A and B are shown apart, each in its own frame.
Chain A
Amino acid sequence: MRHASFIARTVLVQNGNVEQAVRLINRIMGREGFLEQYRLTRYYEKPFQTRRRINYTKCKAIYNEDMDRKIEFLLRKNRVEPFPGYC
């Protein structure tokens, strides 16, 4: 899919702060998976490697989801500070 030139995947520079704009576009591209996909398609990934990678990603996602739920649950509290003066 060809993105529209200079409209998609574009960041305007604010106040001459080029560094910030570069970081922003790198961050967005990285977060959306473009850079990861680019690295994967450099060389051919054999089907057995693809299956391994996808299964690993799935397991990791399940684990992270449950761990985040657990942490969120444990952080729900409204008690007196157990260790006063510890900071």
Chain B
Amino acid sequence: MLRQAILVPRIFSFLERSVLGSGERAGGLLAQETCKATCLLCGPQSSSIKRPLHTTVPRSKAEDRKEMLASMPKKDEGTEGEKTIDVDLLSKRFEDIFPDENTPSRLFDGIPYSQLNICDIKATKNNTIISLNDHKGKALMLRSCGMEGFKNTRQGTNIAAQATGISLAMRAIAKGFKDPVRVRVSGIGPGRMSAIKGLSMGGMNVVSITDSTRVSFAPTARARKQRRL
């Protein structure tokens, strides 16, 4: 039988505390004495006990769960550069979120949806370009991260994209394009989320967000070879 002499007094002193109540102070020498008197492993009755006694320090369920969640790998949402939180879809009314056959004629500030200006955001790995266009496709404004003063690597960041969004929104309002705008995002990049955030921060009234990333599940022309770093 293994005698864990160091461990046992500490454990049993805790147990003694619960048994003796709040009146008794189980600490230091007192714990050891009471421990030896009642302890099953090192007390007077120890000769009759053959099997080892093991206990664990009691832990709360919350502590365990927090530790388990912290040790789990982070779930990949699919967009690099941005951290997103799950949205509770059960509390939403689906009719208002997704467009239907009446949406093109639905009025936003007196303008039908199909005639609102379009804000195209091209979010690539190294840059983010935002352009404001007519519903017919005529270009009205164009801003990119480079035009904001960021150069080279700094263009491919979410901060630069946010700055570009703010700048475009403020310039558009100054020029007179105050109407609500529908946003069309293309590509996965650091500026995908921040650009839209910047637009709304700059004062633009964003009405809808569309994703027009060019994706094909069918076999396409052979892409370039993988980069070997």
Contact = CB atoms under 8 A, between A and B. Distances in A.
Interface of A: 3, 5-7, 9-14, 16, 18-27, 29-30, 34-39, 41-45, 86-87
Contacts of B184: 6
Contact of B208 (A13, A30, A43, A86): A13
A44 B209 CA distance: 30
Nearest to A83: B61
Contact of B206 (A18, A38, A39): A18
Interface string B198-229: 01100001111111110111001011111100
Interface in B70-99: 76-79, 82, 84-87, 89, 92, 96-99
A22 B87 contact: no
B182 interface: yes
Contacts of B99: 6-7, 10, 12
A22 B209 contact: yes
Nearest to B92: A14
B79 A35 contact: yes
A23 B104 CA distance: 23
B79 A44 contact: no
Contacts of B98: 10-12
Interface in B102-126: 103-104, 113-114
A26 B207 contact: no
B132 to A, nearest CB: 16
Contact of B215 (A5, A22, A37): A37
Nearest to B61: A87
B193 interface: yes
B61 A86 contact: yes
Nearest to A4: B99
Given A26-B78, A27-B77, A27-B87, A21 B209 contact: yes
Contact of B212 (A9, A18, A20): A9
Given A14-B96, A23-B87, A37-B217, A43 B210 contact: no
B8 interface: no
Contacts of B225: 43-44
